[in-house]
Amino acid sequence: MHADTRRTVAIISHPDAGKTTLTEQLLKVTDTIGRAGAVNSKGNKKATVTDWMEMEQERGISVASSAVRIHVDGITINLLDTPGHGDFSEDTYRVLSAVDSAVMLLDAAKGIEPQTRRLFEVCRARQLPIITFVNKIDRPSMDPVDILDHVERELDLQLVPMNWPAGAGAAMGGLVHLDGGAREPAVWDPIGFQEFEWDEAADTLEMAVGSAGGFDREKFLAGDQSPMFFGAAAKMFGVDHLIKAICTLAPEPMPRLDAEGQARPVEEAFSAQVFKLQANMDQRHRDVAAFMRINSGAFVRGDKVAIARTGRPLVVTRAVEPFGRDSETVEEAWPGDVIVLPGSRDLRIGDTLHAGKAVNFPRITTFAPSIFREVRNRDIARRKQFQQGISQLGDEGVVQIYIDPKVGIQTPIAAAVGELQYEVFTHRMANEFGVEVGLSQLPLAISVAWDEKNEGTPPRATGMRVLESTHGIQLLAFGSDWALANYRKDHPELLLHDVL
Ligand code: G4P
């Protein structure tokens, strides 16, 4: 099923840690490049084909997640992008439902930064195996032992170093590798490096690995242990070892659990799950494209599949690679691959498509929003378009849409994890639906989901809002952690679930 040749991976990092640089370097080592220049970029310094939307082009950022494909040593690495800007969105998180492992990229001088942590928490909740890459070791950095301690402590994650820097910063002589103890001299001229530091590095490496009890692939696959590499992406130093780790340590696509907890064998008939919808890839058609990850079987163009949610058949006459505007048509694809179906008005985020034996994968988690805003229609004459836009963009997951039953559907409440989602939302409401919306900030910051098993309706509290989604989820939203904690204390009998 070719699944054993696939590694589907995302890089998680904080802005500026070097994700763009690393992605470019990974593309350079590849036998055949999925698409040259398919890397997101900031500013105009690099060409980009992933910026579909006008807004992205104006701002020189990538709102949408995309992918590149790398072929190396008979392995195909599908590298899915998680937009790396300070201002990120739920798309960033959803991508993590479509990968089998992640590379956590850290800046050697900064360690764990806020966005790395948020993305890491999502990986942990999904028990995703993580390979750690400590980047920019050619620059003044934290001491390697301190980095290791810091990451272990901050994330409560066991690290096993697979290489170790000999010397430090400008005086760094190179890397000692665990694998055979090879000494790899730096590709730059170290100033003041002493030969004996090789032995010191080898000893420290041995000690650090020993105290972790050695590398254990099972622990890594369970997300309990992370192999750690030092390197410098910009200098193409240590990057080959990272690639090797992705090929040899990172898991191939495994059977995925369906909504009933049954595993769908990778060899079963075709199945895939939509993890992202993207509008406007083609301005002329007001197109919506569905990005899906194949979980089992082969995708063959022209095959008839079913949409699990509706039971409706769909003949997939056209699917494209997820590399950008001039995407190529896909004739066949395999588990772990991502394909894009243009013109998919009937599909929603989380939808399962399948051939053969029916299957329905679990809903993709909704992420804990922290910014809540009331949405008002500024043009009463365009009431219908307003409702259409709200419903379409809500389904696409641009923002989450809720209704406060006390207020009604004419003033929905939007919720999001990042400011950028609101920019995309207002831009698209205006451009695609011709509706000017007004947004007003609500004094809400945290929410929990109401369990249907609770009796009656949620007891009220000052400052709390009850919000209902179109999927029947009830959120209780509060102004602060403190307000929520008090509510839990006042109502210990209630079942309330954390939203991830
Ligand atoms: P991002 O996508 O994670 O936001 O980071 P990006 O690759 O854009 O890298 C951020 C900055 O860090 C860039 O510098 C990049 O060159 C630098 N960088 C990345 N990897 C390394 C490394 O291994 N060593 C060193 N010394 N620097 C690294 P910039 O000044 O913002 O841009 P540029 O003009 O250098 O391209």
pLDDT at residue 458, rounded to an integer? 94
Residue whose CA is at the smallest distance from ligand 1 atom 4 = 16
**Using CA positions, which residue lies closest to atom 9 of ligand 1?**
18
How far apart CA 4 and CA 32 sit, in angstroms, is: 19
Strands 413-416 and 371-377: antiparallel
**Average pLDDT, consecutive stretches of 10 residues, N- to C-terminus, the chain (500 residues):** 90 91 83 41 38 45 60 90 64 88 97 90 92 95 94 96 90 91 90 92 95 94 96 94 95 95 96 84 63 95 93 90 71 93 83 96 82 94 94 86 91 90 88 93 94 92 92 90 95 86
pLDDT for the residue 326: 55
Atom 11 (ligand 1) nearest CA:
16
Do 236 and 281 have their domain in common? no
278 and 169 share one domain:
no
> In testing the pocket of ligand 1, which one of 11, 16, 79, 135 has its CB within 8 Å of the most ligand atoms?
16
Say which amino acid occupies 386.
F
| Same-domain check for residues 231 and 263 | no
Number of the ligand 1 atom closest to the C-alpha atom of 21: 7
Q: Examine residue 362 and state whether it is found in any structural domain, yes or no.
A: no
Q: Where are the alpha helices (DSSP H) in 126-216?
A: 144-155, 197-211
Is 475 inside a domain boundary? yes
Which residue puts its alpha carbon closest to atom 15 of ligand 1?
18
Residues 337 and 445 in one domain: no
Instruction: Please give the number of the atom of ligand 1 that sits closest to the Cα of 85.
Output: 4
The verdict on residue 145 lying in a domain is yes
Q: Please, are residues 187 and 228 in contact by the beta-carbon 8 Å criterion?
A: no
Measured CA angle at 167 (ends 162, 168), to 5 deg? 95
> Can you give the pLDDT at residue 333?
94
Ligand 1 pocket by Cβ (under 6 Å) = 13, 15-21, 84, 135-136, 138-139, 232-235
Last residue of a domain, one of 295, 322, 354: 354
What atom in ligand 1 is closest to the CA of residue 17?
3
Q: Are residues 173 and 28 in the same domain?
A: yes
Token duo for residue 343: 């013109």
Q: Whose CA is nearest to atom 6 of ligand 1?
A: 18
Atom of ligand 1 nearest to the CA of 231: 23
Residue 95 domain boundaries: 3-66+81-251
Query: Domain check: are 238 and 308 in the same one?
Result: no
Q: What's the CATH number where 333 sits?
A: 2.40.30.10
Centroid of ligand 1 to alpha carbon of 451 (angstroms):
45
CA of 35 to the centre of ligand 1 (A): 21
> CA separation (Å) from 220 to 53, 104, 107, 225, 365?
38, 13, 22, 4, 23
Per-residue burial over 65-84, b = 16 or more CB atoms within 10 Å of its CB, e = otherwise: bbbbbbebeebbbbbbbbbb
Residue nearest to atom 19 of ligand 1 (CA): 18
Place of tokens 């209780």: 476
CA of 133 to the centre of ligand 1 (A): 14
C-alpha 412 to ligand 1 mean position (Å): 41
CA of 498 to the centre of ligand 1 (A): 36
pTM, two decimals, is 0.84
- Are residue 291 and residue 416 in the same domain, yes or no? no
- Could you tell me if 137 and 240 lie in one domain? yes
**Residue-level pLDDT at 44:** 36
Look at the chain and report how many structural domains it folds into.
3
Residue 113 lies in a domain: yes
CATH assignment at residue 138: 3.40.50.300
Final residue of a domain: which of 200, 235, 251? 251
For residues 118 and 208, state if they share a domain.
yes
Q: Is residue 38 part of a domain?
A: yes
332 and 375 in a single domain? The answer is: no
| Best residue for ligand 1 mutational test, from 11, 19, 20, 21 (most atoms within 8 Å of Cβ) | 21
Q: How far is the CA of 234 from the centre of ligand 1 (A)?
A: 7
- Tell me the C-alpha distance between 186 and 183, whole Å: 9
- From the number of C-beta atoms within 10 Å of its C-beta (0-12, 13-18, 19+), residue 444 rates as buried
Distance 15 CA to ligand 1 centre (A): 10
